[in-house]
Amino acid sequence: MKHVNQMFLALILGLLVLNGNSALQADPAKQAPKSDKPADPPAKKAEPDGPPSIPAQFMSIESPVGEVTYGRVTNAALALQNEAAQAGETGYLVLKITPGSSPFHQVQGLAKFLASSKLSSLKTIAWIPETVIGNNVVLALACDEIVMHPDAELGDIGYGKALDRDEQQFVLSIVEKRHNPKLSRALALGMMDPQQAVLKVKIQQGEGKNKQVESRVVTPEELKRLRDNQAVITDVETIKEVGSLGVFSGSKARAVDVLVQQLAHSRGDLSEFYGIPREKLRDDPTVGEAPKVMLIKVDGMISPILETFIERQINRAVNSGANMLVFEIDSGGGYLLSGMNLANRIADLESSKVRTVAYIPDRAMSSAAIIALGCDEIFLKPNGQIGDAGVMHENKNGQFEFVPEKILSPIRVTIRDLAEKKGRPPAVCEAMMDKDLEVFEVTNSKTGQLWFMSDTEIHESNGEWIKGPMIPESKKGNLLTVNGVRAHELKLAEPPVREMDELKQRLGIAAGVNLKAVGRTWVDTLVFYLNTGAVTFLLFFMGALFIYLELYTLTGMFGIMSAVCFGLFFWSKFLGGTAGYLEIVLFVIGMICILMEIFVIPGFGIFGVSGGLLIVSSIILASQTFGDFNTLRPGSDFTNMTNTVGTMSASLVTVIVLALILNRFLPESRLMSSIILAPPGDNQRPGGHEIRLDPELLGNFDSVQRHGLELKVGMQGVTTSVLRPAGRVEIDGVWIDVISEGPYIQVGIPVEIAQIQGNEIVVREVSSDEETA
């Protein structure tokens, strides 16, 4: 025995020596400073280096509860139970109970399963972020623990009426099976029957040093039995009166120490309470099956064109049945508005049961960082960077400066909303775009939870959060920018990943699945090319040229071709995100005004000027998004407008020059000479080209009969309509259809018959000299 003891002593000494050598060999710079805070649990320490091993599953139970919901929950719970049993650990099944109405028999089946011994290796947690009443409350009572938002309420199972006796017996049996220390038979009765009072009493047991005080939640009948049994009741508190609804808010339940185990504002709080990695507190649409995942790359400058392209990719992926979207982001930023629009679009995918993941191998700065904040989870490589989302503009002196607070405020609200929705510290996210916001490490005075807040948030918490040291990345004059490791420490991102294969492993994607980015379609490629400066110039040039040719020939063919050019321009801008229906309507109204000026109200008046201004305005509006601050090119509104006007002007000048050339040589072209129009009587065009009416078909006459009146060359009359060139004149009281020999002739102008060619009567304006003669 003595030798055995010596061997054990030697073994212990050897282990101590090994531990001492390890401590001596450790890098002193990496030694953690002394702190009064409790050490992190092992699972949390391992997070930065690799995925945590805690078996956990988060699921939302939507209403109404039916067979599909029952199947999803039972399948996921049994798979998690098997995983926890094999790992020899306790698994966590977190069920988010949502408001709504469900049939009691459907709720009954799921509640019975949750309370059964089949889930012996799991701790079931009911998460109540908003008020839940009705039969869905039974699901929360069937869980091991209940966690509520302070303002959320739970109870009133019968909607203001008492449940049937059989239903009450079932609920009581579920409560007894769960052995939830915060839940009692009396409390359950109060939640099922408005006429049931609920009391909290303190019972003294023993005397002197052996005296103990126990708190119980009882009904009045149970209190009477306690007194009959000579129990020493030291205090009685009514927590539900007769006739009141059995509804308890999270803060009230916590104050009287019933019903709830913890209060939580977000899933991040749940992660802190139970040590569950935040990445596992996300809805898994695949319910344990292989996810259908799509990869979408977000690279280059964030612009309206890229924004609409990404939105189309999202819609295609969702319509194809994808339930997980991975956004590989590598961008230095771009247009703020485009980034915010994409972030909100991605954040809203949660309602469509689509899990969104941002993967940042290199950098996501400025508006690209905002896009990442819209995703459910963010994964960076250890040296990847995220942040620096400050918004700048150009002042009157031509210097770049940060935008004033009145512009920053709405952006700040959007950033905070995204952070709260995705369970990230709002102050840390806000510090990315506010250089003067200082963020501090804080500790919850009740739970010990670690979080990050600004001075204002700490003050508004009324002592709930204890202020700690300021995080150095948020010092004044500095836009918060962090790498993958630090982003995880600040609860912005998940533990960093080293490569795509590790990301797939973390997301539960099979190793054999090849994540290939969704490619561009021919429509996307065409939109990109049509939005380039050279193609835009070409569309303007061809559109204006075809308008000139149409006015020269009046065939309709060139008018259609011009409409196609301008249609392509607005279509590309519409899909590019800079144009909407307003710009198209303005352009159409402008064209209508110009056509009215030409064909209905001749001259250069208000319709022509207004139409031209509307067309120019519509093209400028369609070419850019005004009021958007760009972190890469501050003050870009004026620059973009100047470029658009310059492109239009260059195309118009080119058309004018070309028109002068065409006006000289076009009539001599055999192809065009047959379709070019000339006014009647214009028998000789420049260049010797002669335009004649076919005398064999029409013939030339000295007189013709019209409405009983013999018309002869030289007869005079007065126009009764505008001749454009066709119209009507009145000769000797008879209205005659005629055409003008040359330019337009207004109403009430004296004219005379110049020619009679077949059925056509050609007139010309009578000069003042001829009238006098």
Structural domain includes residue 381: yes
Assess whether 128 and 253 both reside in one domain.
yes
Report d(CA 591, CA 596) in Å as an integer: 9
Q: What is the pLDDT of residues 44-60, one digit of tens each?
A: 333 444 444 688 888 88
Question: Average pLDDT in the 384-390 region?
Answer: 90
pLDDT at 48 (0 to 100): 41
Assess whether 602 and 716 both reside in one domain.
no
Q: What is the pLDDT of residues 488-504, one digit of tens each?
A: 999 999 889 999 888 88
Assess whether 624 and 733 both reside in one domain.
no
Question: Average pLDDT in the 432-449 region?
Answer: 87
Assess whether 303 and 350 both reside in one domain.
yes
Assess whether 602 and 728 both reside in one domain.
no
Nearest Cα to 643, choosing from 619, 608, 659, 609?
619
Assess whether 154 and 251 both reside in one domain.
yes
3-state secondary structure of 24: helix
Structural domain includes residue 235: no
Structure tokens that stand for 300 in this block: 């280059």
> What domain count does the chain have?
4
681: pLDDT strictly greater than 50 = no
Report d(CA 362, CA 300) in Å as an integer: 12
Structural domain includes residue 677: no
Residue pair 517/328 in contact (Cβ under 8 Å)? The answer is yes
Report d(CA 189, CA 106) in Å as an integer: 21
Report d(CA 23, CA 629) in Å as an integer: 53
Backbone angles phi, psi at 410, to 5 degrees: -65, -30
Assess whether 414 and 322 both reside in one domain.
yes
**DSSP 8-state symbol, 143:** S
> Across the chain, what does the average pLDDT equal?
78
Helix-then-strand count for the chain, H and E: 26, 31
Assess whether 396 and 255 both reside in one domain.
no
Domain encompassing residue 333: 293-435+479-507
Nearest Cα to 78, choosing from 91, 60, 95?
91
CATH number (domain holding residue 389): 3.90.226.10
**Res. 241 pLDDT band, cuts 50 70 90:** very high
Structural domain includes residue 755: yes
At which of 230, 254, 280 does a domain end?
280
pLDDT at 51 (0 to 100): 45
Assess whether 351 and 415 both reside in one domain.
yes
Assess whether 106 and 191 both reside in one domain.
yes
663: pLDDT strictly greater than 80 = no
Structural domain includes residue 142: yes
Q: Is 0.85 surpassed by the pTM of this model?
A: no
Structural domain includes residue 464: no
**Res. 361 pLDDT band, cuts 50 70 90:** very high
Assess whether 498 and 536 both reside in one domain.
no
One-letter amino acid for residue 644 of the chain? T
Residue pair 293/509 in contact (Cβ under 8 Å)? The answer is yes
552: pLDDT strictly greater than 80 = no
Query: Which helix (DSSP H) or strand (DSSP E) does residue 768 occupy?
Result: helix 768-772
**Res. 637 pLDDT band, cuts 50 70 90:** low
Cα dihedral 35, 36, 38, 39 in deg (nearest 10): 20
Provide Rg for the chain, Cα atoms.
41
Residue pair 624/641 in contact (Cβ under 8 Å)? The answer is yes
Q: Is 42 exposed, middle or buried (0-12, 13-18, 19+ CB in 10 A)?
A: exposed
Structural domain includes residue 218: no
At which of 613, 643, 665 does a domain end?
665
Assess whether 545 and 487 both reside in one domain.
no
Structural domain includes residue 626: yes
Q: What percent of the chain has pLDDT over 90?
A: 27
CATH number (domain holding residue 735): 2.40.50.140
